[in-house]
Chains A and B, each alone.
Chain A
Amino acid sequence: MAKKRNEEYDSGDEYQEEPNFDDPEGFVDDINDEDLLGDLLKQKPCETDGVECVVVVDNIPKVGPTRQEKLKTVIFKLFSTFGDIVSSFYPLDEEQNTKGYAFLEYKSPEKAEEAVKALNNHRLDKNHTFAVNLFIDFQKYENIPEKWEPPTPQPYKVQNDLYNFLIEPDAYDQYCIAAETSPNSVQVQFWQNSLPEPTELETRKSFTDTFVKWSPLGTYIVTFHKQGVVIWGGSNYQKINKFPHPGTQFVDFSPCENYVVTYAPTPAGQKIIIWDIRTGQEKRSFVSDGQTSMSMFRWSHDDKYVARMGENAIFVYETPKFFLHELKSISIPGIRSFSWSPTDNVIAYWVGGQTEVPARVTIMDIPKKKDIRNKNLFNVADCKIHWQKSGDYLCVKVDRFSKSKKDKKDADVKFLGTFYNFEIFHMREKDIPVDSVEIKELILAFSWEPVNNKFAIVHGEPNNANVSFYEVKKGQKPALVKKLEKKACTHLFWSPRGQFIVLGNLTMGTFEFIDTNNDFIVMSSADHFRASDVEWDPTGRYVVTCVSSWKIKEDTGYNLYTFQGRILKRNLLKNFVQYLWRPRPASLLNDAQQKDIKKNLKKYYAQFENKDRMRLTRASKELLEKRSQLREQFMEYRNKRIAEWQDQKSRRLQLRNHVDTDSLETDDVEEEIVEFLIKEEITVLE
């Protein structure tokens, strides 16, 4: 066919004329290149191309030619983490020394911006802190117009009220319940502990991959994801900020909620990043190869400092710059552990003893770095530092021994004849006097009363332990106020408001509620088989015991009790993992105002009592209404069915030989006397 057409074409006698491409005469070309091939022109290279990819690094070390190579590799290594560096330029002075700044060009402007964001204010060493800027910024600041224009007002955006949860009129507390609905997908429910029944506020499916955690004042809740962590808050638990740190397993908030620390294990060691919560900026990052307890950052109570323990030293960093305090660590040879006071900028630490040197507990003032108190201790195996919450007292639990033996094989030291001392430091008194309490038995638990000045110790065998309560007073030795004997108790849980304590046995799941201001009376005991956690609500009104599916696969759920141990609710929940009360910030009322309220408690008592009664009657009325409705519905059905049943009576009689078996009573009862031969005895009569 094609051939044929060709033939036709060839054989065509008239030639087709070629069209004329010339412009007609008098044509004016009014289309410019921009319109015609604007898209192509955009790609045309020009001199200033790539300017936006250039960053200027200031404050780099000024070095001679010999060390330039090293400097370049260091800087290259640091900056190439954000993208490939296309070219770099280090200006040199007459003596061939670097001038203290350099130009680096990235492949794309985004990479350059990233580098500026991350490495500006980066500390290379003690004397060199980078100032990294985009090259085009210079242009920008050059071209600042002479005349100032007032900024145009932005439309008002309603901010999410983060403290919304505190304005609940009845001061009901919130709690969240987490359940692992499928692997790595945890559903979280938010509830309000209202009376008489809690109300559900919100349910979030797949809210977090592993678990959730409240910030210490309850403002935020943090969730964990593959890419990092997210914090949520406000009335509907909106997303507030996110912190991209892949593989984060644990977070720690600073006490005033200004910073958050994320911990993620990497092959090189634990990577730790400190973030600013409000801006979401990374403040400082560390990689530690030590144990987790060593690398834990500990915050001072006012967020001013954060400290970390290293080999023979404490590193104290100052916020908000996160530089080492006075640019150097505090050298403490042999430091074993340290802890901040919960109310003052004071650190307590202890140093292990050597053969000749005794162990030592020291209290140090920060930022003065001055030791306020030293206490030498002999024959020390281990120490635990417990601060009282109000910072008035410090208790150091000292494990001591009468003899020590070094194992030949390994370097482990064996301790024989251990006994325990509690060293109580009176922080508020002059020169900080120290008292000690000695206990011969094994210590299972120790706990300070969160307010007031009692502490409780569990000592003895786990199934047959003694619980001793001591009271500390100004200028006096701690006095034993009560010893409860033969308690199956392993853990202590004080009410956050003091006075009440729950003695828990977490292996058996038994609990005892004790009022310590009332002759240590056992108010009640409770039983929650295999319960693993005890959570007091922040106001000390309720206690929750939980069985989490992290530990036990069956019968997971939680029980809710009043502070007196009266059970309010048992709730079995499949795959339940966590129950967390939302913390509250400290009261805004001062001591005098609080005292005033306590004094006039009778007045308020009547009000609350009234309110409670109203609520209860309303609730029971609702229940009764519901029941009577159910009863009516059911009786309607039943009466219909009974009528049908009665209609069938004749057929029933027919089936059972006309014997009426509808009721148990029958008219024709025949009494039958049955005689049994019980025993046969033969007595021979003489």
Chain B
Amino acid sequence: MKPLMLQGHERSITQIKYNREGDLLFSCSKDLKPNVWWSLNGERLGTYNGHQGAVWSLDVDWSTSKMITGSGDMTTKIWDVEFGKVLASIPAQSSVRTTNFSYSGNQAAYTTDKAMGQNCELFIIDVRTADSSLSHQDPVLRVPILQSKVTSMLWGALDETIITGHENGHISLYDVRNGKQINSVNDHTNSINDMQLNKDGTMFVTASKDTSAKLFDSESLLCLKTYKTERPVNSAAISPILDHIVVGGGQDAMEVTTTSSRAGKFDSRFFHLIYEEEFARLKGHFGPINSLAFHPDGKSYASGGEDGFVRVQVFDNSYFEYMFE
């Protein structure tokens, strides 16, 4: 089927996410306005106006009532999804790189960049009553991260742990109750660009600049599988229904202009989760892919690229009929 092209952003996409039911697709980009789209037909539902800088990350809670965004304007904002209003704006000391709601949606976590003399820090806030009072409340937990800066972050299952991916390729597990580091592994050799949980939250897939994606157990941080490519990987996602993963990336955005798109390898690439074998590729973007997401029903997926487009691709029947022996 022909993919849906979602054109609404003026600059490169930084992150895309479906809500839990998959009827809505949220996207944020280096322009100031996160967007929300109907995933079925690609129509834009609205924009979230209020940020003064590039929006690096977003997350929607399980009930699709609140959205959290982190931005280069050094704020974390919590939005009312339905009305597009800012419920709370929390100032930070440097730009906010990652934001995520916990499983229950009662808490949220965000990390800030190591910049302007500030350390990289992990914050956990209580968002049960999200209103302007949040901006001057102390966070529930504040963990300075003195090693390499956090480039991606996830909540573990059951609101107990936080998994951080770092610029130097390390992956660490933190206890939310006391902010202690429980475990740390360094299977990757370069910056972790993205981490996404599988459907039940027991595994997650990483995307790294070291040109590979890896599958980890989300409790033991044991590396289970490796998916190799020849370009930096910016994002990877696990299919909720099949043993497939999709990885995307491409040449560094810095080098794109010096080569033709054919050499850039901006394809979405599908790997078998268990056999680590690549079985399909999808062309489309004319810049690196920055973010990927599977629809929760597993029947379509979306990709957001450096070219500013979000593409929603519904799988043909042949995708479901294709079987590995």
Please report A residues at the B interface, Cβ cutoff 8 Å.
Answer: 529-530, 554-555, 572, 624, 627, 630-631, 634, 637, 641-642, 644-645, 648, 651-652, 655-656, 661-662, 664
Please report B residues at the A interface, Cβ cutoff 8 Å.
Answer: 20-22, 62, 103-106, 157-159, 200-203, 217, 224, 230, 259-260, 262-263, 273-275, 296-297, 324-325
Residues of A within 8 A of B22 (CB): 664
Are A652 and B263 touching (Cβ within 8 A)? no
Are B325 and A642 touching (Cβ within 8 A)? no
> Assuming the A-B contacts A555-B263, A645-B200, A664-B297, are A652 and B158 also in contact, with contact meaning beta carbons closer than 8 angstroms in the complex?
yes
B contact face: mostly helix, strand, loop, or mixed: loop
Are B274 and A630 touching (Cβ within 8 A)? yes
Residues of B within 8 A of A572 (CB): 230
Residues of B within 8 A of A642 (CB): 200, 202
* Nearest CB in chain B: distance from A327 CB, A: 59
Q: How many A-B residue pairs have CB under 8 A?
A: 56
Are B274 and A661 touching (Cβ within 8 A)? no
Are A651 and B158 touching (Cβ within 8 A)? yes
4 nearest A-B residue pairs (beta carbon): A655-B104, A641-B202, A634-B274, A645-B200
How many angstroms from the CA of A568 to the CA of B62 in the assembled complex?
Answer: 47
Are A656 and B104 touching (Cβ within 8 A)? yes
A contact face: mostly helix, strand, loop, or mixed: helix
Q: List 14 A-B contacts (CB under 8 A).
A: A554-B263, A555-B230, A627-B274, A631-B274, A631-B275, A644-B202, A645-B201, A648-B158, A655-B106, A656-B103, A656-B105, A661-B20, A664-B22, A664-B296
Name the CB-closest residue of B to A570. B230
Residues of A within 8 A of B103 (CB): 652, 655-656
* Nearest CB in chain B: distance from A278 CB, A: 45
* Nearest CB in chain A: distance from B226 CB, A: 13
Sample of 9 further A-B pairs with CB below 8 A, known A627-B325, A634-B224, A648-B158: A529-B263, A627-B275, A634-B274, A642-B202, A645-B157, A655-B159, A656-B103, A661-B62, A662-B200
How many angstroms from the CA of A664 to the CA of B22 in the assembled complex?
Answer: 9
Name the CB-closest residue of A to B157. A648
How many angstroms from the CA of A599 to the CA of B105 in the assembled complex?
Answer: 79
How many angstroms from the CA of A631 to the CA of B202 in the assembled complex?
Answer: 18
* Nearest CB in chain B: distance from A625 CB, A: 11
Candidates B157, B203, B262, B325; contact of A624 at CB < 8 Å? B325
Name the CB-closest residue of A to B158. A651
Residues of A within 8 A of B21 (CB): 664
Name the CB-closest residue of A to B298. A664
How many angstroms from the CA of A480 to the CA of B137 in the assembled complex?
Answer: 88
Residues of A within 8 A of B217 (CB): 637, 641
Residues of B within 8 A of A651 (CB): 158
Residues of A within 8 A of B262 (CB): 529
Are B62 and A630 touching (Cβ within 8 A)? no
Residues of A within 8 A of B259 (CB): 554
* Nearest CB in chain A: distance from B4 CB, A: 21
* Nearest CB in chain A: distance from B205 CB, A: 14
* Nearest CB in chain B: distance from A642 CB, A: 7
How many angstroms from the CA of A641 to the CA of B218 in the assembled complex?
Answer: 10
Are B203 and A641 touching (Cβ within 8 A)? yes
How many angstroms from the CA of A624 to the CA of B323 in the assembled complex?
Answer: 13
Are A637 and B224 touching (Cβ within 8 A)? yes
How many angstroms from the CA of A644 to the CA of B157 in the assembled complex?
Answer: 12
How many angstroms from the CA of A530 to the CA of B21 in the assembled complex?
Answer: 45
How many angstroms from the CA of A443 to the CA of B177 in the assembled complex?
Answer: 77
* Nearest CB in chain A: distance from B12 CB, A: 22
Residues of A within 8 A of B202 (CB): 641-642, 644-645
How many angstroms from the CA of A555 to the CA of B62 in the assembled complex?
Answer: 43
Are B62 and A656 touching (Cβ within 8 A)? yes
